[in-house]
Amino acid sequence: MEFRYLGNSGLKISEITYGNWLTHGSQVENDVATQCVHAALDEGISTFDTADVYANTVAESVLGEALKGQRRADLEIFTKVYWPTGPGGKNDTGLSRKHIMESIDGSLQRLQTDYVDLYQAHRFDTETPLEETMQAFADIVRQGKAHYIGVSEWTAEQIRAGVALSKEMGFQLISSQPQYSMLWRVIEDEVVPTSAELGVSQIVWSPMAQGVLSGKYQPGQEPPEGSRAADEKGGANMIKRFMNDDVLTRVQDLKPIAEEAGLSMAQLGVAWVLQNDNVAAALVGASRPEQVRENVKAAGVKLDASVMSKIDDVLGDVVEKDPAKTAETAPQGRVA
């Protein structure tokens, strides 16, 4: 495993970070989830990312239980706040001071820790003054409940405003967690250069484009039973933007490139995002321990310019690069 600094801070994190979105507390049994976490630890992963909204708080509890007994100083634990949790009361969502201050205490209890290393705003809240949100984060840092603050799926302008306020209030906003993959590159033109200028790193989710870049989806065929694309409860809706024959055919054409690099398709996808200097970590999940062991083989891989160029040539115009997509895919008002 290799480690990278997160933003302009002194915090080092594992460049392959274990995330438990969509798996813990929902798709896999708790004992299997624990096996996956332990496999991650065995492979040198020290950084774990979750959120209070995952499985409506259950994912945090599963992760906390799985990490019990580990030396806390050896771990970097991340969680997030914004989306509705609990019974969905009028203040159970957003980035108000009330919701943030109550949410951090709930997260710490479920994670069985006194602090998180990174506390992230899961989306931008258009209905709460940014000053109120950032003051709450500042107080959480001063109370020792979080060491650093990050954001997720914020635009370049929102990140700039957040960093400016964090400096005024005496704490560090050091990370951004966007979607990023060979197929989804909307952060490259605005978010990445702004972040690099401000000392903010990316912790990217879905480096395998919700599994499409693994090559398991074949053009002209129904998705495999049990796959995300076959999950009508939500997974199929998330992945549908990539589920067309043009994209899937081009993804299949990546196989010779992966083989030439000595990588599986999934490993190539993870390694690709890690070539970006502004990316501190790629988030990977797992429903089986062996998936963790395979994913970590992307750590430390250097792809030469010719490989990167071949990937661009194969994918061509199916790649989404429009920076406006970050704002378009964000909630336009607070989710109630």
**Interatomic CA distance for residues 244 and 298, integer angstroms:** 27
**DSSP-assigned letter for residue 84:** -
Residue indicated by tokens 């009330």: 98
**Interatomic CA distance for residues 85 and 268, integer angstroms:** 35
Q: What angle do CA 315, 317, 320 make, to 5 degrees?
A: 95
Q: Is 82 a catalytic residue?
A: no
What share of residues in the chain are helix, strand, coil (percent, to 5)? 45, 15, 40
| Runs of H (alpha helix) within 205-264 | 235-239, 245-252, 255-260
**Cα-flanking dihedrals φ and ψ of residue 179, to 5°?**
-75, 135
**Interatomic CA distance for residues 201 and 306, integer angstroms:** 26
H or E segment and range at residue 271: helix 265-274
The residue from 5, 18, 54, 217 that is catalytic is: 54
CA dihedral of 298, 302, 308, 309, whole degrees rounded to 10: -150
Closest CA to 286 of 23, 82, 78: 23
Half-sphere exposure of 114 (CA within 13 A, CB side): 5
CB-CB contact of 220 with 245 (8 Å) = yes
Catalytic residue positions, numbered: 54
